[in-house]
Structure 1
Amino acid sequence: MKDEKITAHLKDGEEFNISDNAIYLYCPHGYGKTKLHNNFFESQLKVRTTTRNWKTTLKLLELVNEADD
């Protein structure tokens, strides 16, 4: 799903994809410099959001896999 209201705020190189239960956001210039942050998505989509960077996501996956062993 691509919403024009959201797409209009993309900076050069930024990408996003919205699935049923997640928003995937690519910010090549850094999350701190994008306008597409939690508050923005919450106001545009009327949903609650939280953010995880890729390093944190990989660490959580590692922890889950260790717990399964």
Structure 2
Amino acid sequence: MKKLKAIEYETEKFKIEGKYAYLYCLNGYGKAKINNNFLENKLKVNATTRNWKTVLTLFEMMTTD
């Protein structure tokens, strides 16, 4: 975890909270260096990623009658 926290990119920021990692990509996720494969390799876990639009769509689907 310490090695991961030491990695910084000017256009990408991330925060780890418990079992979740939050990633902000100024230039978009498609151009991100910190991506799903990066996190899986560094943390030795299976991971999945969702962009914010998808998160909002899933939330709307769950809260709409």
TM over 0.5: yes
Task: State the identity %.
Answer: 46
1:35 is aligned to 2:41: no
Runs of 4+ in 1 over 2 A off after TM superposition: 2-8
The CA RMSD measured in Å over matched residues stands at 1.7
Which residue identity does 1:26 align to in structure 2?
Y
Paired with 2:15 and 2:4, the residues of 1 have a C-alpha distance of: 14
- 1:42-57 equivalent positions in 2, closer than 5 A: 42-57=40-55
CA deviation after TM superposition for structure 1 residue 47, in Å: 1.0
Normalising to structure 1: TM-score of the pair? 0.79
CA deviation after TM superposition for structure 1 residue 4, in Å: 3.3
